[in-house]
Amino acid sequence: MLISESTLRSFTENIFAAMGCSAEHARLSADVLIKSDLRGIDSHGVARLQGYVRLWEKKRINTDPDLRIVHETATTATVDGDAGLGLVVAPFAMKVAIEKAEKYGSGWVSVRNSNHFGIAGYHAMKAVEKDMIGFAMTNASPLVSPTFSSERLLGTNPVCYAFPAGKYPPVIVDMATSAAANGKLEIAQRAGMQVPEGWIQNKEGEPTTDPHALKSGGALLPLGSDRDHGSHKGFGLSATVDILSAVLSGANYGPWVPPFVAFLDPPNDPVGTGIGHFVGAMRIDGFRPVAEFKQHMDNWIHRFKSSATIDPNQKVIIPGEPELEAEAARKLSGIPLVEAVVKDLNEIAGRFGVELLRS
């Protein structure tokens, strides 16, 4: 089913409002989810709305949070999200980072007591609008095993680096630090297909191509897949995200991160509060004039885009390009939703007395 951006946006705002969010928080939360759907990252858009609703029903999400800075210097801060939606906590933290960068050149905020913040790119791109470089990362429910381990100790712990350019669109590196995202496994599960070796291991830590292995105690693998191909590097990157987001802020880290799915209870021996994020912003003109930087970004992008390719039909893809193309297309033609998602959304709408989605 194809739904227009504006229809899906109002629908999503109405659901968040029905959960008790202020008008401002409902608008913002919907904006983060719709941006994900527009950019073609279907796994992090409205398909997750039911997940937030279920966590709220379990009282694990507070829709009227008191967002506050609990500790700070001129350019650093720790924010407590008061168990709020990550969709409003992370924008608050990013605003603090940008304000500090405006005054002092850079700003860095570690966040505790939050929940899933949507796509990292949404938050990092806020800095780009101000001619800054944006950084955003978060830890997440443990699904990934470190190299040599059979335990799930890390989330897919995504990270985003966002750089403004001139005549070209910004370069947006927005990536999970695992070899494959969980959404890709779900696609293979639904299609009854095997997945490539190097994405997952089974409960014993043996390589497998069965996409259902994750549900029977298996784990996703870090970027690099195995030791020979650098999985210890993917583990190191994921550890970095976990430490900056949670050990630094006082959130839960590693296997203590509370699960996103409401049917699993959080660990009963927490080492912090909620999940953690880390966001930052640096002013370009803290290093060189913005116009110069953008001119060289354009030259960088042009050189990489026009490089010799292996397959004449497959150009080099600049990070962020596919998402931008999806956004342009979906703004015109609407956002495609699979039947199962529409059914879930309308079930929630029915319970909340919100107008149903119709094609």
Q: Which of residues 205-224 bind its own copies (CB under 8 A)?
A: 205-206, 223-224
Contacting residue, 89, 93, 244, 349, with its own copies by CB under 8 A: 244
Q: Considering only CA atoms, which of 234, 175, 186 is closest in space to residue 214?
A: 186
Q: Closest CB to its own copies among 58 and 288?
A: 288
The two three-digit tokens of residue 55, written as one number: 């966590």
CA torsion sign for 276, 156, 206, 210 is: positive
Which CB sits closer to its own copies, 29 or 78? Answer: 78
Closer CB to its own copies, 188 or 335, in the complex: 188
Binding residues for its own copies, rule CB under 8 A, total 88
Determine contact, residues 281/94, Cβ cutoff 8 Å: yes
Interface mask toward its own copies for 19-48; x: CB under 8 A:
------------------------------
Q: How far is CA 128 from the centre of its chain?
A: 17
**Nearer residue to its own copies within complex by CB, 29 or 75:** 75
Q: Does 125 bind its own copies (CB under 8 A)?
A: no
Least spacing, CB of residue 122 vs its own copies, in Å: 17
User: Which range, of 11-19, 118-126, 277-285, 337-345, touches its own copies by CB under 8 A?
Assistant: 277-285
CA proximity to 12, closest of 97, 147, 113, 118: 118
CA 238, 241, 244, 247 torsion: positive or negative?
A: negative
What is the number of other CB atoms lying within 10 angstroms of the CB of residue 263?
7
**d(C-alpha 319, C-alpha 315), whole Å:** 12
Question: Applying CB under 8 A, does 113 fall inside the site for its own copies?
Answer: no
Interface with its own copies, residue 151, by CB under 8 A: yes
Q: Give the separation between CA 195 and CA 185, rounded to whole angstroms.
A: 7
Q: Give the one residue of 228, 269, 339, 358 binding its own copies; rule: CB under 8 A.
A: 228
Tokens of 28: 């913002």
**Nearer to its own copies (CB atom), residue 11 or residue 108:** 108
Does 254 sit near its own copies (CB under 8 A)?
yes
| Residue closer to its own copies (CB basis): 73 or 268 | 73
* Residue 204 near its own copies by CB under 8 A: yes
Interaction of residue 153 with its own copies, rule CB under 8 A? yes
164 or 341: CB nearest its own copies: 164
Contact with its own copies (CB under 8 A) among 40, 51, 105, 267: 105
Q: Scan for tokens 């195995």, then name that residue.
A: 226
- Give min distance, CB of 217 to its own copies, in A: 11
332 CB-contact burial (10 Å; exposed 0-12 / middle 13-18 / buried 19+): exposed
Q: What is the CA radius of gyration of the chain?
A: 20
Asked if 212 and 189 count as a contact pair (C-beta separation under 8 A), the reply is: yes
Least distance (Å) between residue 306 CB and its own copies: 10
